Structures are given as structure tokens and as C-alpha cells.
Amino acid sequence: MGSSIAGPYGAGAGLIIGLIKHAVTFESECAQLYAKIGSEQQKDQQLEAAIEQELERQRALETQISGASATGRQPTSLPAPAATQSQAPPSKPNPQSKPAPDRTVLASLGKPSAPAPPASPFKNVDVRDTNGDGVPDLWIYYDPQKPGEIIRQEEATKGDGRVDTWSYFKDGKLIRRDVDSNGQGRADAIFYYDGEKLAREERDETGQGRVTYRAIFEGERLARVEKDIKGQGRPDLWVYYDTGKESETVVKEERDLNGDGAVDLWSYFDNGRLVRRDVSAVGLELLTKQDQLPVPVADLK
């Protein structure tokens, strides 16, 4: 167009027309750019609003959970799900001030099939002071799914407030008890139960974190003892008891003299008295180098 006008009006008019055309095109491009910038700013504002809304929802949720924990309410006492989500509480004039997901999350805590994970492994805890000194010494943990059923119990038996006994239950029955008898902060004796009857006992007698003593019970009577006398990490002494008698009466003793895991010396007893000893070839060679035979455990009592 600028070239067609340049004939009658000269080259100057064509130049002016061309500049006007470019100016209009530039303004159009600028308008599109500003519109795009405005759209991006609007998206940023929407994102910031969504983030703020999520933070508000989390703060409200933490407040609700903290309040429920402080008043000792059970998870099942929280609002029922789904049916009341679409209805705003009558005491709130502005039901949109808090987002609906708040009520959905809290309602889900009340479902017996999917309770929300509490801050601690056990939410239902009964704390007691059994000796009346003002310091808690018994903590009883209940199964949230089975109210009244104990799943764990902790005791401070020395009156210093420090837990030294841990008891574990299954279906309401005692299955294991850990005891810290030397005050090192970890269990050094573990008792296993079958039908609430003592079935096995394990002890760390050296404080090195490994079992050095194991006792097996039958009908709550001592049947066998395994000991790691040499501290090699495996038993080298086995003592067998007569479970038909109420008193602990030894009937047989076995020893591993060289630590290879095989029995080298057998001792037999009648009514608790040594009546015979047998020795392997390896055991005989070892014993000939010693001044005296090992004293049976039954004779040490």
C-alpha cells in the first residue's frame, strides 16, 4: 500500500503509512503479551490461594486432633463420615470459611476399619501410679480396634519412673515379657509364654547383648538349660531335668569341651547324684591335659 501511494504523494507518504502499519502491529502484539502476563498472574494468585487454603486446612486438622487427644476421646467418638459432609453446622454463619475436606478427613478417623495413624504407636493409654508416690509406674496400652484388650504394658518396678519391664499380649494373653534387671536401659532377660504359661527364658548374663543362658520349660517345669560358658556365642553346656518331679532334679548333662559344637562329655544322674560319665575320644584327649574333670552343675548346688 505504501508503494502505491508513493507515486502521487512521493516516497515520504509511503514511509509514513508503513510506520503506521508497523505501529498498529506492535500495539496488537503488546496487547496479546499483556493479556498473557495477566493470565499467568491470575494463575499465580489462584495457586497462592489454594496453598493458603491447604495450610489453613492442615492447621485446623492439627487443632482438631490435638483437642481430641487432650480430652482422651476415642477415635470412634469423632464425627460420622459422608452423611453430614454436605450440611454446614448451624452455629457457623459462614460454612465456606473452612473447606469441606476438613470434615472429610476428620470423619475418616471415626471409621473402625481405617483409623488415622496417631502421633504415637498407641493412642489408648492408661497411666497409673500403683505405689502412690506421685510418679507414674504403669502404662497400659489398649488395642484401638478392640476396646479393653491390652496389647502392651510397661512397668517401672524400681520406683524411679524408668521403665524396666515390657509385657506383650496377643488376643489379651501374655506372650512375652522383657526385663532390664541391671539398669542398662535394655532387656537382659526375656520370658516367652504359651497359653500364659512360661515356655522359654533367655538371659544375657555378660551384658554384651547376646544370649548366654536359655531355659526350656514343659508344663511350667524346667526341662532343659543351655549355657554359653566360654562366651563363644553358642551353647557348650546342656543340662536336662526330670519334669516328672516338682523339684529341679538333673538327669543328664552334656559338655562341649573344645567349642566345636559337638558333645565330648556326658554325665548321668540318679535322683540328682552323679552315677556315670562317658567321654568321646576327642574329649578324653582334652581331659588328659587337665588336672581335673569339670564339676557337674548338679554338684555345684
Asked, for residue 76, whether it belongs to a domain, the answer is no
Asked if residue 34 and residue 124 are part of one domain, the reply reads no
Band of residue 58 on the pLDDT scale cut at 50, 70, 90: low
Asked if residue 267 and residue 205 are part of one domain, the reply reads yes
Asked if residue 42 and residue 7 are part of one domain, the reply reads yes
Asked if residue 193 and residue 295 are part of one domain, the reply reads yes
CA–CA separation, 169 and 71 (whole Å): 27
Asked, for residue 78, whether it belongs to a domain, the answer is no
CA–CA separation, 172 and 258 (whole Å): 46
- Domain boundary (181, 200, 229) is at 181
Asked, for residue 70, whether it belongs to a domain, the answer is no
Q: Is the pLDDT of residue 249 over 80?
A: yes
Asked if residue 48 and residue 156 are part of one domain, the reply reads no
Average pLDDT over residues 171-194: 94
Q: Is the pLDDT of residue 236 over 90?
A: yes
Asked if residue 286 and residue 218 are part of one domain, the reply reads yes
Asked, for residue 147, whether it belongs to a domain, the answer is yes
- Domain boundary (143, 163, 181) is at 181
Asked if residue 48 and residue 132 are part of one domain, the reply reads no
Domain count, the chain: 3
Considering only residues 24 and 297, tell me which one the structure prediction assigns the higher pLDDT. 297
Asked, for residue 71, whether it belongs to a domain, the answer is no
Max avg pLDDT among 37-51, 78-92, 214-228: 214-228
- Domain boundary (54, 83, 110) is at 110
Q: What is the pLDDT of residue 269?
A: 95
Q: Is the pLDDT of residue 242 over 50?
A: yes
Asked if residue 246 and residue 196 are part of one domain, the reply reads yes
Contact criterion met (CB below 8 Å) for 167 and 152: yes
Give the cell for residue 170. Answer: 496377643
This prediction has a pTM of 0.56
Asked, for residue 168, whether it belongs to a domain, the answer is yes
Q: What is the pLDDT of residue 217?
A: 97
Residues of the domain holding 53? 1-63+96-110
Max avg pLDDT among 9-18, 119-128, 210-219: 210-219
Asked, for residue 84, whether it belongs to a domain, the answer is no
Asked if residue 161 and residue 57 are part of one domain, the reply reads no
Q: What is the pLDDT of residue 100?
A: 45
Considering only residues 282 and 51, tell me which one the structure prediction assigns the higher pLDDT. 282
Residue 31 is which amino acid?
A: A
Distances (CA, A) of 75 to 17, 86, 189, 233: 79, 22, 36, 47
Contact criterion met (CB below 8 Å) for 262 and 289: no
CA–CA separation, 93 and 100 (whole Å): 15
Asked if residue 301 and residue 219 are part of one domain, the reply reads yes
Q: What is the pLDDT of residue 117?
A: 41
